[in-house]
Amino acid sequence: MDLIKQAAFELQNESISAWKKNNNSVVGYTCSQVPLELFYAGGILPVRLRGVGIQGLDIADAYYGPFICSFPKAILQSMAEKKLKHLDGAVIADGCDSMRRLDECWRRASNDYPHMDLPFFHYMNIPRKISDHARDWFIDEIQQLQTALNSYFNVSITLEDIQKAITIYNKSRELIAKIENLRKFNPPKISGSDAFCVSLAAESMVPETFQQQATALYDHFLHHPAEIADGPRILISGSAYDDIHLIQTIEASGANVVGENVCFGPSHRINLVSEEQPPLEALMEHYLLSCPCPRMFGRFDYRMALLKETIRNVQAKGVVLQNIRFCDLHASENGLLERKLEKEGIPCIRLEREYGSQTDTGRLRMRMDAFLERIS
């Protein structure tokens, strides 16, 4: 659990250090639509870029304007503060407008902070709709990334390598799903914050190391359930979110967080990539067609159905619809979700917050207390 917690709470961890010690490369990526199997197929460790643990945004604010989500700002700040020294490269995907401008801000900041100038820097352009030509475009983007990795890291990624990587990452997904099942008990056998650590760690560790750790953790909680009191079962949904302190704040109010429908969470993690289809098709289906992010315009009904299924699966009694300030995609979607879910008798609370742990714990605690009073 220590290694998993370290990977969840910190940007650097022992798994990455051990990987680097063997002269292996690490590439950071910004969005859950980037196919991480591709990197691992080339012997490169993909690590989701995050900005936890920073104390301010002074450097990032010199490049980004004021009306911008604090998540990409925090990544930029972490990079400028030399907290992501393990990176050999980065892939910026155009997940949303704030995130895609990380490309320019990062490149410009590299002029002022030369250590930010990574030798491998790639921009990935992902369609915002689903159509035959969007599928072709996405596969072509995967191939372009493959070519770029081959060329810079002097590797030769084959379809067989990708197939193997899919199998490896699917094993991680199956483990996450098993651990998620422990949350379905009433009371859950594992706390929300511990379970969410597992999802976060999966994106920051060498998969084989993660699997060893997660297996041990699963066995532990299966046989020695955490002592958790009965409390309202809460699902968290919305913007990109990797802040375990928010879950801890909610759980400290007496609720049990039993699921996360966010792009760092299990809902984006437990679906397997098909091992039957040709690998590039399989990656496209998983990362483009199944993407539950509102950046895919015109797919609200699909996302609504997914959310309702998750609510049913985890038996949530209330839903926290959170968004980072200036994340209009989730903030507006939350407005629609709240309206529809409340109509169906599922209590919701909308929370706007800043990225970063404990930036406004007191305010959030007060609002959560009020919400729990309503649904208890």
Q: What is the maximal distance between C-alpha atoms in the chain?
A: 58
Q: Smallest distance, Å, CB 269 to another protein? A: 24
19, 64, 121, 153: which one binds another protein (CB under 8 A): 64
132, 230, 276, 344: which one binds another protein (CB under 8 A): 132
- According to DSSP, residue 62 is labeled G
Q: Smallest distance, Å, CB 108 to another protein? A: 4
Q: 158: number of CA atoms within 13 Å, CB side?
A: 3
**With respect to another protein, which residue has the nearer C-beta, 104 or 208?**
104
β-bridge mates for residue 237, sequence order: 261, 321
Question: Quick one: which H or E segment has residue 89?
Answer: strand 89-93
Is residue 146 within 8 A of residue 38, CB to CB? The reply is yes
Q: Smallest distance, Å, CB 143 to another protein? A: 11
Q: Where does this chain touch another protein (CB under 8 A) — which range of 83-91, 133-141, 230-238, 280-288? A: 133-141
**With respect to another protein, which residue has the nearer C-beta, 273 or 348?**
348
The answer to whether 338 contacts another protein (rule: CB under 8 A) is: yes
Give me the long-range contacts of 289-296 (CB less than 8 A, separation at least 24): 289/130, 289/135, 291/32, 291/33, 292/261, 292/263, 292/267, 292/268, 293/32, 293/33, 293/95, 293/263, 293/329, 294/329, 294/330, 294/332, 294/333, 295/95, 295/96, 295/128, 295/329, 296/128, 296/129, 296/130
What residues numbered 308-327 form the site for another protein, per CB under 8 A? 323, 325-326
The three-state DSSP-derived secondary structure of 170-210 is HHHHHHHHHHHHHHHCCCCCCCHHHHHHHHHHHCCCCHHHH
188, 232, 294, 356: which one binds another protein (CB under 8 A): 294
Q: Smallest distance, Å, CB 100 to another protein? A: 7
Q: Smallest distance, Å, CB 263 to another protein? A: 15
Q: Where does this chain touch another protein (CB under 8 A) — which range of 62-70, 160-168, 249-257, 310-318? A: 62-70
Site string for another protein, 83-122 (x = CB under 8 A): -----------x-xxx-xx-xxx-xx--------------
The answer to whether 29 contacts another protein (rule: CB under 8 A) is: no
132 vs 130: CA distance, rounded Å: 7
The answer to whether 140 contacts another protein (rule: CB under 8 A) is: yes
Question: Quick one: CA torsion of 242, 187, 310, 357, rounded to 10 degrees?
Answer: -10
17, 56, 58, 62: which one binds another protein (CB under 8 A): 62
Q: Smallest distance, Å, CB 242 to another protein? A: 21
Specify whether the backbone of 326 is left (phi greater than 0), alpha (psi in -120 to 50) or beta: left
Which spans of this chain sit near another protein (rule: CB under 8 A)?
62-69, 94, 96-98, 100-101, 103-105, 107-108, 123, 125, 127-129, 131-134, 137, 140, 294-295, 297-298, 300-301, 323, 325-326, 328-329, 331-336, 338-339
